[in-house]
Structure 1
């Protein structure tokens, strides 16, 4: 160990004391000679990207610590100015490269995204992911798997290989607490508040940038952010015509086929972009097959002062159900076990599937009134319709000790009578349908002058959902296509916000943000309790404020944010006398980041204090359902570390580490008592919040052995996760470490603009691990029995792709 530390120390001293060079300069607008703030300046050498930075409010940038003299390539980009690329010759310790940027002939600023995203100086923890970074990993897996290496992220997959139904948690918060927008338009399901990316297969191929805000973040549209915000942007301007063909194949007969094309600028004003995709896989879990199709179309008019854009994208998914998990008794002997469809006698039912189509329509208008004032509005419609199908068998349910799903009375029908025989149950196949429309409008007005930037915006949306179930086949006693429940639900969401950013000096910046949000629910019954009618209103006021320091590559901030969140649809099934309260979160954050050419590092600390957080306790409510209940106090306390280093032109690395403590001050657990009836209460103090690992780490090492070639080693570590809120190790997921390897090589020739070959091997160490699961316990025979179910991931598997740019 001493020799190892000595070697590392000597290596670091060598890096620090070796000859280093710098490039710095000033960026101005050539028309008015004003400093260009927030321009992205990137530096390359010999075709290899080295670093990038953002100009400050004086238009200054600097790259320090360059180890070699010679020619470098500077690339300067700004959303409202023309891109510029220049060669810079470094021959002395400090090289000055002052540049001017010309005005763009078109109004390109995506205000629908800018109004929601945190700027470089905003006092929030955030990660920006570029189109190039997204493309590196886009071999067919669902979007959460492309975000795995970002701080505090834990991902999972029902099918075990990242295709089909997947999940994401950030800082321990699941998808129902992560606000997701696409071009500023809310995407979270209005009722469950979750985000199902399986409904938009291959959306990553149309996304040009992603921003993840951890914590409450800035005000946004849609469901409140209680752990993070995920903002996707597809509204990209492509001046030149292009075409792409992307094909991938891998383990479990997994395929991804994508065709993309764009017209470039037509007649100086019009652009058209389109994509078709198909993804399929047999899945790691038995019968967990997926068949996914999607399309994307965007047409835009771009003028000097205005843009109009229409987007249409659609997803069609068909997945064999794998959401039951693998019981603990089989996890070591049959990790691919799938109980879905096995209620049918003999072979499993072959159509135990989830089927859903989702169509998105978006229309945007952006206009610049002057150099200081600009406006955006967008209207949207999301249409969704689909069902999941189940075979319910009498013999299988009797063996499990329950026959409720096969009783005639369950479906509001009398028992079948044959002579003197009364039949109470029957085998049947049912479909549970959801037919919904989600529509609304967003807007923002941006004022920017001197040291002030003010954004006023908001939106409204309404969700009209029809839930119904029908029986498409029964052995006896039920007519075909009999509809046994038909329930309507309406949710309306209105919000308005104002954001103010002010430069107090060349170094200090002030941020203030205030949002008002009103939510109205009207639910006309639930599947298992159709007579419960719920009407609820919520009014939330969400303030945010912070201060940041930005100078010479240093960014430091401190902020406070208040967020409120309404319960989910299922929470309201508690009954009239036991309705849930809204949740409240106080989020305190502070961070420091240092950016340099060869070495960048940062640290963020946070304290997230929850009031009335909704959690599962196992308690049966007054209508016989297990729903979440409010707990008075819980919190998340953590620190996030990040760093990047360029060791040599052929070697660079990055890593992140999230350490946290996630506790419920006082909580209660209810166990069903099958011996005596009723439930037994157990109290817990300072129990861990479920699915909140105390350590989450990621690391990436990139090797560039040859020109246009790259090998990446991607590592992920997640510590123990508890399946419930009791801190009981017997109800937990073991810690795991996963190592992936990715290699790519790019060929540029006259036949193709670019030919990219990429291959990835996942879980190269063949670890057996489970990132997700669920548990329930009960008292039977005088003892507490616990049943755990897990969602295991595949062992060593691969994907390989050929991407052609025309």
Structure 2
């Protein structure tokens, strides 16, 4: 037995030695046109998994098992080069210096900072389900659309709610909404700390500054102590540009859309300093009536390359904006008033006035430090801060005092006259109507630091820390008295019986100076502190054909709130709640042949509940039923790589237990009898998502490219769920608001949903896109997508499916190159054939023998119609 084992080990050693000896070595240097080295350039042997990165002096060494083929050398902002090679067996090959020219198709050359913190998949050898959206695609196709729209041609992605107004889009990944997808900006987490949500209106300038977007579906490659269920979206912005120059761009679009952008870069100067700046002004009426919006985007970046080991960058980005909003409503309303109908606005003295305005300004500051300790070790750190100021408007007072005109809009004239008729013009919550601001301010500070060590050619590891602290302040103030002289408040425990006489403007600039006193607030007034500490680590082993990794993270969150409205001074502070979460994931890949790779990943997350689910009914009482959500994920895939086509095939299974969801609907409050915005909270959800995804990218010729994708999912609920319903003032509403499929139980409902379909996103989708360069400077592109198996987002026993639909987008680009400048024209047309479709349904009222139906759906259901044909045209001058 021992002799057999010894013989086996010797044979294995000889085979391994032979494999090692069969490796060929290729070296070279990568420079720019000024003969300066390009550190961080990617060098890859085409059709294989063999890849290397240039060092700080631009040199590279790559090992490969093939003796002939081609090498591709790429660096963001520069044109890639593909070089043929032939190696004499056993003799190293030196390609000599390779010069990369600045890419005329890219807008600027950039320095990527925080490379050790930004979780891009190429940083790890083992594959994950990932799709990349280039800067060129973002700039060309985004136009006047919301940022999530740049990801709509990606498998597993569904984007909805564009009809709500500028910045109100929602994105789903594999059927999970954006509260359960991690969004990272240059390594900084940007999901809301309280509820995990993404408010895209705060990031309206992202399309102007994004260099790359990488969508990692499922477990992803994130090293941080975050537990994303749907996936991770890494947004990499521009930083301090390498070259001197600038641009000016003007864009127009449907519904009076206008956007003007200017930018300038000093370039990286001889003293190591550089700066980049950009400013945008935009405005538009919105596709639906009553969805006007306007705002600014600003971007400043200061870089300093101290030496070859230290690079620093300070980045400031903000997007102050305000936009009027639209909500889902019954199909019958649209059939009466038209598909662009919005009942959130009216007219006062002939002037337009909206009851629903979102206004916010959230400056973000990043400080990045990249420290190259040695050619094997580096440390990357990002310290960040954001200061959010703003909120949203809405009605306050008795809904019975809210009046509508015959055409279905708010009758502000009658409302004002009724208010003026009150004694002394002083209203209260029972006899008057006003417009309030719901203020949501915050201050958020954090640090993410990651140390990476490449021990040898086969083994590497990294470890890091993720620290965050968040202070949120929430209260309501009067935005428009609507003819009142004051508003009497008698429900404040700490300040009983006072009259509010001040009103505060709803715009993102004054939000920074609005500071009402305690006796000028209405309805609620509370703060919350969330502190977070996470540690994470990853180890990876790789050979030419095999790689394996393991990642782990542990985090602790603490929560506390102060409520000045509902509690006395002695009792205003809640109990402090601490929750610990963790995740572990790992995977392996194997290259069957030079072009074929298979892989599998698995992981388990124990994720802490969000702050809004910890405290009952927005009070200080701790919810005894909250517990960590449990997520189990499995994924397997296949990769094919060739000079002409790349194919990615992925299969996944995600089991998610003990989750909580909140949905918003216009419905009748059975206590007041009035139509209001009501919030349905479901706890104890158990979801089971399985599916398969296919993505193919082909380049038959240098002028023609094709991209296709397919996603087929089967997303179902397991077990039953508990349901509670609240009004806008966070009061618990009787549990008989929605009776379908529910049974009363102690102030909440048991919803029998076991085996029912999960809604909100299309479970089946297909897409095909193509781009063709007709002549020098002139190119056209088009994308087709179809969506099917789209169910209501209502968590209910008998769900409703809306009809499938197809969309086609198209664009044309024309570029004129001059000696040192260029002029670029771009036209986009979205929904070319003006298809009428439902993009979202939030209720599940069944068809009955007596119901009125629209395309097989009961017209009492609340929906959004998708946008019809839209367009934008831009002209950009680069200098």
Band the TM-score falls in, shorter-chain normalisation: 0.7 to 0.9
Q: Please say if residues 662 and 692 of structure 1, whose CA atoms lie closer than 8 Å, have aligned partners that are also in contact.
A: no
1:360 maps onto 2:357 in alignment? no
Q: Please say if residues 388 and 433 of structure 1, whose CA atoms lie closer than 8 Å, have aligned partners that are also in contact.
A: yes
Give the counterpart of 1:194 among 182, 192, 197: 197
1:737 maps onto 2:783 in alignment? no
- d(CA) in 1 for partners of 2:373, 2:737: 68
2:33 maps to none
Displacement of 1:702 in angstroms is 1.6
Displacement of 1:386 in angstroms is 0.6
Deviations 1:671-717 (A, max 9, x none): 61699998775523301112142202221022222222221111111
Q: Please say if residues 111 and 241 of structure 2, whose CA atoms lie closer than 8 Å, have aligned partners that are also in contact.
A: no
Give the counterpart of 2:776 among 707, 712, 715: 707
Matches within 5 A, 1:83-162: 85=81, 99-100=95-96, 110-112=113-115, 114=117, 116-119=119-122, 121-159=125-163
Deviations 1:391-428 (A, max 9, x none): 4475755779xxxxx9xxxxxxxxx8789x99941122
1:491 maps onto 2:530 in alignment? yes
- d(CA) in 2 for partners of 1:204, 1:107: 16
Give the counterpart of 2:209 among 206, 210, 219: 206
Q: For structure 1, which runs of at least 5 residues remain unmatched after alignment? A: 1-24, 44-50, 67-71, 91-95, 401-405, 407-415
Displacement of 1:330 in angstroms is 2.4
Displacement of 1:342 in angstroms is 5.0
Give the counterpart of 1:797 among 860, 867, 870: 870
Q: Please say if residues 64 and 596 of structure 1, whose CA atoms lie closer than 8 Å, have aligned partners that are also in contact.
A: no
Question: Structure 1 residues 796-805 or 678-687, which shifts more?
Answer: 678-687
- d(CA) in 2 for partners of 1:765, 1:145: 18
Give the counterpart of 1:335 among 336, 339, 342: 339
1:413 maps to none
- d(CA) in 2 for partners of 1:667, 1:397: 39
2:493 maps to none
1:462 maps onto 2:469 in alignment? yes
1:523 maps to 561
1:448 maps to 454
- d(CA) in 2 for partners of 1:528, 1:687: 39
Displacement of 1:480 in angstroms is 1.8
Displacement of 1:143 in angstroms is 1.2
Displacement of 1:520 in angstroms is 1.1
1:56 maps onto 2:51 in alignment? yes
1:581 maps onto 2:602 in alignment? no
Change (3 A) 1:539 1:679: closer
2:817 maps to 748
Q: For structure 2, which runs of at least 5 residues remain unmatched after alignment? A: 1-23, 31-37, 53-60, 87-91, 101-108, 405-411, 413-421, 488-499, 503-519, 673-677, 724-734, 853-857
DSSP-derived class of the 2:121 partner: coil
DSSP-derived class of the 1:664 partner: strand
Question: Structure 1 residues 421-430 or 383-392, which shifts more?
Answer: 421-430
Question: Structure 1 residues 433-442 or 468-477, which shifts more?
Answer: 468-477
DSSP-derived class of the 1:726 partner: coil
1:564 maps onto 2:602 in alignment? no
1:375 maps to 379
TM-score (norm 2): 0.75
1:698 maps onto 2:704 in alignment? no
1:539 maps to 580
1:610 maps onto 2:656 in alignment? yes
Change (3 A) 1:796 1:579: same
Question: Structure 1 residues 586-595 or 556-565, which shifts more?
Answer: 556-565
Change (3 A) 1:65 1:774: farther
1:433 maps to 439
- d(CA) in 1 for partners of 2:270, 2:808: 50
DSSP-derived class of the 1:685 partner: coil
Give the counterpart of 2:861 among 788, 791, 801: 788
Q: Please say if residues 672 and 777 of structure 1, whose CA atoms lie closer than 8 Å, have aligned partners that are also in contact.
A: no
The CA RMSD over aligned residues, in Å, is: 4.3
Change (3 A) 1:424 1:659: closer
Give the counterpart of 1:647 among 700, 703, 719: 700
Displacement of 1:211 in angstroms is 1.5
2:546 maps to 508
Deviations 1:694-744 (A, max 9, x none): 202221022222222221111111113222233645x44332210111111
Q: Please say if residues 708 and 746 of structure 1, whose CA atoms lie closer than 8 Å, have aligned partners that are also in contact.
A: yes
Displacement of 1:766 in angstroms is 0.9
Q: Please say if residues 117 and 448 of structure 2, whose CA atoms lie closer than 8 Å, have aligned partners that are also in contact.
A: no
Aligned residues: 737
1:282 maps onto 2:324 in alignment? no
Displacement of 1:783 in angstroms is 11
Change (3 A) 1:176 1:562: same
1:166 maps to 169
